[in-house]
Amino acid sequence: MVNIKKIFISAGESSGDIYGARLAMSFKGLYNDVKLYGMGLNRMKAAGVQIAGCAKKHSVMGIAEIITSLHANYTNIKKCAEVIKSEKIDAVILIDYAGFNLKLAEAAKRLGSRVFYFIPPKLWAWGAFRMPGLKKNVDKIYSIFKFENDFLNKNKANSVFLGHPIFDIIKLSGFDYDSYLLNAKKDAEAAVLDSMQKCAAKNKVILMPGSRKSEISTLLPLIIESAEAVNKLYSQRAGGFEFILPIAPSTDEILVKRCLKRAKFEYRFVHSDFDKYKAFSEAAFAIASSGTATLELALFGVPMVILYKVAALTELAGRLLLKTKYIGLPNILAKTSIVPELVQRQATCENIIYHASKLIPAGYLRQIAARNLLKTAALLKYERGRSPSDQVASDIYSEIGGCFESDKQVL
């Protein structure tokens, strides 16, 4: 008789849903004796996860914004706990979204499930007060950065670093990142004159205000104003620029279109991951909200300006609690400023255009930025043919006593 292992995956927002779906594919592809439940969005559902709650209702950012989502959080935690209890879940896997998932971890632990954290909360940046709860209620953590893994182990949390799952997401999209990275590194190391010729072929500007409503409302008007200025500044460039807005599944596209109604430049939405990564590979520049998007852009060597603007209450808390020198992941990983960050009142059209004028034209500054950004792949444990998600799934399966004699199918 087959002993079915029941696994619950909890993702708090769009990016978590993407990683949760890929992890679900690993479990389904490697083992035939697992049943998956979870809280997420359309991608997790499509990957075979039986959805217990919708993450879209509580995808927010910042202290002021989180306060308004407390009721939705409580309702979803209750729904998830009921599934964990009634189905006798063997493993609960949490993905990011600390405010919600640490509460769920406490409930799951109380119900007797093993608890794992895949993409843990960024306690190295702020929120160290959550460390005791993390250590008490989470059995094992799968860090996505080496420095994060070192930080957690130093604080006596049980953590391992098996690489960043973003490489699985890129591969799943169908984009050939292996070949792109090899060629991009050659271009970045070439003589400046040769590099200038390659740069001339990059004709896209990426606009990424974030997927949360609060980010879109705060940053998109500024990004539109800046894009108009960039368009005007480089109107004589051969072929001009094409402005691309990647749209995540949880993004309020109606709100985005409303903001863009009076935009004075041509733009195009891309919805698929393949189209997004293809656009990145052809991009001359990007204006992006801080977060996972900046990490993806860095992997493609796209010079960018990183924006960060939040409510006044969140800013005050950040000044008191933030423990990192930088906001953007490319700079945090590099331990130095390789792309400009514009935080709060620094985030103005004038400042964005100043940096754009330095990074868009082909030349030494652009080449150095691209060269440093492309080093991000190695820092995330990139290795051709290797799947971090498969390794995490395999480790969790082993932790809950899975039978490795089961039939397996390699993704």
Do 101 and 190 fall within a single domain?
no
Q: Tokens 């990426």 — which residue?
A: 206
pLDDT band at 267 (very low <50, low <70, confident <90, very high): very high
User: Is 408 within a domain?
Assistant: no
User: Is 95 within a domain?
Assistant: yes
Q: Tokens 């990004």 — which residue?
A: 223
Q: Domains in the chain: how many in total?
A: 2
User: Is 170 within a domain?
Assistant: no
| pLDDT for res 1 | 54
Do 107 and 204 fall within a single domain?
no
| Residues 207/373/26/160 CA torsion (nearest 10 deg) | -130
| pLDDT for res 211 | 85
| pLDDT for res 48 | 95
Q: What is the rounded average pLDDT of the residues 351-379?
A: 94
Do 35 and 63 fall within a single domain?
yes
User: Is 409 within a domain?
Assistant: no
Do 147 and 227 fall within a single domain?
no
Provide the residue range defining the domain that includes 340.
175-379
Of the candidates 361, 299, 309, 340, the one whose C-alpha atom is nearest the C-alpha of residue 166 is 299
| pLDDT for res 83 | 96
Do 82 and 24 fall within a single domain?
yes
Q: Under the phi-then-psi rule, with left for phi > 0, alpha for psi from -120 to 50, and beta for the rest, what region is 163?
A: left
Please tell me which residue, 51 or 68, carries the higher pLDDT value: 51
pLDDT tens figures, 70-113: 445 778 899 999 999 999 999 999 999 898 999 999 999 999 99
Cα angle: 26, vertex 30, 36; to 5 degrees: 60
The kind and range of the H/E element at 94 are strand 91-95
Q: What is the rounded average pLDDT of the residues 337-355?
A: 96
pLDDT band at 341 (very low <50, low <70, confident <90, very high): very high
Burial track 61-97 (b if 16+ CB lie within 10 A, e otherwise): bbbbbeeebeebbeebbeebbebbeeeebbbbbbbbb
Q: What is the CATH number of the domain that holds 285?
A: 3.40.50.2000
Sequence-distant (≥ 6) Cβ neighbours of residue 319 within 8 angstroms: none
**pLDDT > 90 fraction of the chain, expressed in percent and rounded:** 71
| pLDDT for res 195 | 53
Do 191 and 156 fall within a single domain?
no
What the block records as the tokens of 235 is 């109107």
Positive or negative, the Cα torsion across 37, 39, 45, 51?
positive
Do 297 and 331 fall within a single domain?
yes
Q: What is the rounded average pLDDT of the residues 314-333?
A: 72
CA distances from 279 to 189, 338, 368, 373, 380 (A): 22, 21, 21, 17, 22
Q: What is the rounded average pLDDT of the residues 249-272?
A: 93
Do 37 and 158 fall within a single domain?
yes
Do 115 and 86 fall within a single domain?
yes
Q: What is the rounded average pLDDT of the residues 59-75?
A: 55
Q: What is the rounded average pLDDT of the residues 296-315?
A: 84
User: Is 127 within a domain?
Assistant: yes
Q: What is the rounded average pLDDT of the residues 281-294?
A: 95
